[in-house]
Amino acid sequence: MVQASTLTDLLPANAPVPSGTEPDSLSEIKEHFAHIAGAIHEVFWISQVDLFRFLYVSPAFEKIWGMPCETLYNQPESIIDSVVLEDRMRWIVAMAEQALHPQTEVEYRIQRPDGTIRWIRTRLFPMPDERKEIHRVAGISEDITDRKLVECEILEFSHRERRKMGQEIHDGICQRLTGIAYMLKTLEQDLANQASHESEKAAYMGRLLRESIEQARRLARGLYPIELEAHGLMSALQELAINVEKLYSVECFFECQSPILMNDHEAATHLYRITQEAIANAITHGRATQLVISLTDGIGVIYLRIRDNGKGLAQNLEEASGMGVRIMQYRARMIGAKLTIQEEPESGVLVTCVLPLRGIAS
């Protein structure tokens, strides 16, 4: 199959050429482009909109994908085959959507011929013709494996520290407070036996101390909430809803019509943290008084939704568009999920996280 060696080869024969441009000048342009394409680390490619034919791919493809450019020219389906199975549907959806948006971005993993796995970030740009019809698409793909490894290390460190803090609160502080509460109960009984009015003060202090113990236990469970069993996410979200009602004095419900079992502990933890962040934004910024957390499954995916009755998207995102929203989006990307935040028709915000099949227990 004939392919373009440079972008200028893609120009139609009757394409306008700047006045005064000689054939030698065009040769120089092609030579300069070849040097640029060979020097950049990202892959630049142009294909038909359906990806059934690649018109140009830069030399960096060979280094990142570990296969010759000719393979892509002669076997366009090889790029789909290189995407790992768990990420393939997300890649296909992104390719299908690229004609509808000015720019589409997708992160996914590929498996090179030598078996190594690399993380790729691809940005897609539809190329409309003079009639505004889209027959070609341009793409820029870069290897983000090193960045992903650093991100995973940061999240793993954060996870370990949360777990450590949760265990220390539960096994250390809570146990000591429980011992103090027991001694205070004994003191209360002794004072009552002596008919001392101080027994009422001791009883009141005991109630405050028991409330503090329960709050500390809820904090410990919030820091490390997901049990290793497959039903852990459902249990954690149910308990989160109960704790939100107690802590913030708002209505919070958890809905799950049928069991959603997850053996992927990492994905379950990220979904729980996304829920925590969405609830915090809804209450703190959206002034919500009612929240509904729902967990459902579909064809090859599960859906996590957090709906509130707050002030709406503009108010919510205007005040919460900083670290909180970015962390939710980042966590979704880490597990290959798609996160959307949209305003409800009457009031409030709906946060939806769609997780592919690999996050569901078999």
- Using one digit for the tens of pLDDT, what is the confidence trace for 240-252? 898 888 878 899 9
User: Both 239 and 279 in a single domain?
Assistant: yes
CATH code assigned at 125: 3.30.450.20
Residue 217 lies in a domain: yes
Does the pLDDT at position 22 exceed 70? no
User: Both 233 and 220 in a single domain?
Assistant: no
pLDDT of residue 337: 87
Does the pLDDT at position 226 exceed 70? no
Q: Examine the fold and report which residue of 100, 124, 143 is the final residue of a domain before the chain moves on.
A: 143
Radius of gyration of the chain (CA): 28
Lowest average pLDDT, out of 115-124, 206-215, 295-304, goes to 206-215
Does the pLDDT at position 98 exceed 70? no
Number of domains into which the chain is organized: 3
User: Both 348 and 238 in a single domain?
Assistant: yes
**Mean pLDDT taken over the chain:** 78
pLDDT of residue 120: 92
pLDDT of residue 13: 40
pLDDT of residue 243: 84
Average pLDDT of span 259-271: 85
Q: How many helices (H) and strands (E) does the chain have?
A: 12, 10
CATH code assigned at 238: 3.30.565.10
Angle at CA 358, nearest 5°, toward 341 and 261? 85
- pLDDT, one tens digit per residue, over 3-13 is 554 455 554 34
Contact 252, 246 (CB under 8 A): no
Domain that includes residue 13, residue range: 7-143
**DSSP H or E stretch at residue 52:** none
Contact 257, 282 (CB under 8 A): no
User: Both 18 and 124 in a single domain?
Assistant: yes
Contact 268, 298 (CB under 8 A): no
Residue 2 lies in a domain: no
User: Both 248 and 301 in a single domain?
Assistant: yes
Residue 345 lies in a domain: yes
- pLDDT, one tens digit per residue, over 280-332 is 889 888 889 999 999 998 888 899 999 999 887 755 454 444 557 877 888 88
Q: Torsion over CA of 236, 241, 247 and 250, rounded to 10 degrees?
A: 170
Q: Examine the fold and report which residue of 125, 143, 161 is the final residue of a domain before the chain moves on.
A: 143
Residue 103 lies in a domain: yes
Residue 235 lies in a domain: yes
Average pLDDT of span 162-188: 74
Considering the chain, what percentage of its residues have pLDDT values greater than 90?
19
User: Both 64 and 186 in a single domain?
Assistant: no
Higher per-residue confidence, 174 vs 347: 347
Residue 1 lies in a domain: no
pLDDT of residue 100: 60
Does the pLDDT at position 200 exceed 50? yes
- pLDDT, one tens digit per residue, over 25-66 is 556 655 656 666 666 788 988 888 777 788 888 889 999 999
Contact 137, 125 (CB under 8 A): yes
Which one-letter DSSP state was computed for residue 261? -
Does the pLDDT at position 361 exceed 50? no
Does the pLDDT at position 193 exceed 70? yes
Half-sphere CA count of 73, side-chain side, radius 13 A: 14
User: Both 55 and 11 in a single domain?
Assistant: yes
pLDDT of residue 2: 43
Higher per-residue confidence, 92 vs 217: 92
Token pair 């000048």: residue: 25
Neighbours of 107 (CB within 10 A): 18
Q: Examine the fold and report which residue of 95, 119, 143 is the final residue of a domain before the chain moves on.
A: 143
Contact 297, 360 (CB under 8 A): yes
User: Both 213 and 318 in a single domain?
Assistant: no
User: Both 150 and 262 in a single domain?
Assistant: no
Phi, psi torsion values for 327, nearest 5 degrees: -65, -40
User: Both 255 and 323 in a single domain?
Assistant: yes
Distance CA 274, CA 325 (A): 9
- pLDDT, one tens digit per residue, over 142-159 is 999 988 888 777 777 776
Residue 316 lies in a domain: yes
pLDDT of residue 230: 54
Residue 255 lies in a domain: yes
* Entry pTM: 0.54
User: Both 26 and 124 in a single domain?
Assistant: yes
User: Both 75 and 172 in a single domain?
Assistant: no
pLDDT of residue 352: 95
